[in-house]
Amino acid sequence: MLEKVDMKRKADWQDYDARMAHLEIRMGELQRECKKQGIPIAILFEGFSAAGKGTMIGKMIAPLDPRGFKVYTMEKETEDDKMHPYLWRFATKMPAKGRIHIFDHSWYQGYPQTLQTEEIRQFEKQFTDDGVVLIKFFLAITCKEQKKRLSTLEKSKDTKWRVTEKDWKKNKEYDTNLEQYDTMLIQTDTSNAPWTVVEAMDKKYAICKIMTTVVKRLEIALEAKKAGVKATDAVPDLLEEDLRNGVLQGVDLSLTMEPQEYKKKRKDLQKRLEVLHNKMYLQRVPVVLAFEGWDAGGKGGAIKRITQCMDPRGYEVVPVASPNEVEKSHHYLWRFWEKFPKDGHMTIFDRTWYGRVLVERVEGFATEQEWKRAYQEINAMEAHLVKSGAIVLKFWMHIDPEEQEKRFKQRMETPEKQWKITDEDWRNREKWDEYEKAIDEMMLRTSTQEAPWHIIEANSKLYARIRVLEIVVEALEKRLT
């Protein structure tokens, strides 16, 4: 979840002040309305040291009526806390109806030593089932920024006390911590209590994102209450484009490769792959390659350069289209389970189970509840595959709209490629922004440590094919002896 975020997002909008003014008014209004409707609200802040939790909380509560909220600083255990079960300190502080409780540090401090994922999920679910609006913020900054902030705090006499040995140790181990946080976030990112990762390098950006999130979640909760449905059953797309974690934004599509270099590298990688394919079979390791991407992104081309050098009895390419009648009468993941490889074999999926959170989401083939719970279902399925010993690699073939248009036109003009282009392809282009939103969210919520997403810069077909081959070869070499 964290590794795909561009922490350096800035609030460079002209209408920033007007925006914030509007949000502050809404915060006050919604607080009053939620109090009237008896909706309990819990907001928790986690994040890297020096990411600015305290500052953000201060700014967030500014427009609120102080009689209606309470801030709890939970980092240090009190003597009383230590004498009670770990969750006691939080359970007793959960808000009553109509109240807002804000936690600076929360039960996530207990992860993973004291609390496991399942305990956290169960703990949160009992409250969200009961109608609590649980908003979880994770503030993210880079290692360099963290170091800079810690130094600044340390230099001033007034703030020197806030920087401890522990903080410097955390900065030293930043990369390890990032990994651990990443796992923690993904495993506790549920449809009833999703995480919002806040790019916290730019304070103006961060507070805007935080307030916008709170405003939207409260609006949803109030609507749901009016309609008599559970708020978690009604969570629509949350944030405006400029506030989403724009994973795809940061991709460098200028990367290319010269034909000569391509030829050389392809030969070498394919040779290694051939050897590895044999080892894979003898060592009984199953491999799943999942290809997603924009139409004409180059999935087929990348797949071909993989299979070209392998014994066809040892792999299968599964082209995935919309489900047929039989498949539609089963659980949506059933047809993929059917196709997973046995030990020693490789299955390459051209389009995948991610269709649930992409096309089915955008076109409305799946209900909101269905695609919103799909992230966790997919993560669980992939986790089971990896736990059973499979290598799972996921590729997103990324191109920009201009490149796509170019390729679409080329296909139409080339007789033997005309079959590849349909009206549907052109129609999908019109929904580019909606798809980008869906892809961003997919990357965020399903890029796990065991099965991360690899975004392939695919404007250059040559570059893309080599990149894919490299990732496959490296993964196999790492696992096979």
Residues 51-90, mask of contacts with a second copy (x by CB under 8 A) = -----------------------------x-xxxxxxx--
> Who's near 143: CB < 8 A, 6+ residues apart?
171, 174, 175
**Stretch 316-335 residues interacting with a second copy (CB under 8 A):** 326, 329-334
Within 48-94, strands assigned E span: 69-73
Structure tokens at 35: 């109090």
Query: Least Å distance between CB 93 and a second copy?
Result: 9
**Stretch 344-363 residues interacting with a second copy (CB under 8 A):** 344
Question: Which residues, listed in sequence order, are joined to residue 25 by a DSSP beta bridge?
Answer: none
Q: Is 365 in the site for a second copy (CB under 8 A)?
A: no
Amino acid in position 200: A
Give the chain's end-to-end CA distance (angstroms, integer): 30
Structure tokens at 156: 């001033």
Closer residue to a second copy (CB): 337 or 426: 337
Residues 123-162, mask of contacts with a second copy (x by CB under 8 A) = x--xx-xx-x------------------------------
Distance CA 478, CA 481 (A): 8
Query: Least Å distance between CB 330 and a second copy?
Result: 5
Total binding residues toward a second copy, as defined by CB under 8 A = 53
> Of the ranges 118-126, 250-258, 298-306, 346-354, which one interacts with a second copy (CB under 8 A)?
118-126
Distance CA 390, CA 450 (A): 10
Q: Is 303 in the site for a second copy (CB under 8 A)?
A: no
> Who's near 273: CB < 8 A, 6+ residues apart?
306, 309, 310, 469, 472, 473, 476
Query: Least Å distance between CB 131 and a second copy?
Result: 9
Distance CA 45, CA 87 (A): 17
CB atoms within 10 A of CB 142: 16
Closer residue to a second copy (CB): 126 or 422: 126
Closest C-alpha among 317, 3, 347, 25 to residue 143: 3
Query: Least Å distance between CB 338 and a second copy?
Result: 5
Counting every residue, how long is the chain? 481
Residues 399-438, mask of contacts with a second copy (x by CB under 8 A) = ----------------------------------------
Distances (CA, A) of 84 to 77, 81, 87, 91, 92: 10, 5, 8, 11, 11
Q: Is 24 in the site for a second copy (CB under 8 A)?
A: no
CB atoms within 10 A of CB 326: 9
Rule CB under 8 A: choose which of 17, 65, 118, 402 binds a second copy. Answer: 118
**Stretch 370-399 residues interacting with a second copy (CB under 8 A):** 370, 373, 376-377, 380, 384-385, 387-390
Which spans of this chain sit near a second copy (rule: CB under 8 A)? 38, 40, 80, 82-88, 91-92, 94-98, 117-119, 122-123, 126-127, 129-130, 132, 284, 286, 326, 329-334, 337-338, 340, 342-344, 370, 373, 376-377, 380, 384-385, 387-390
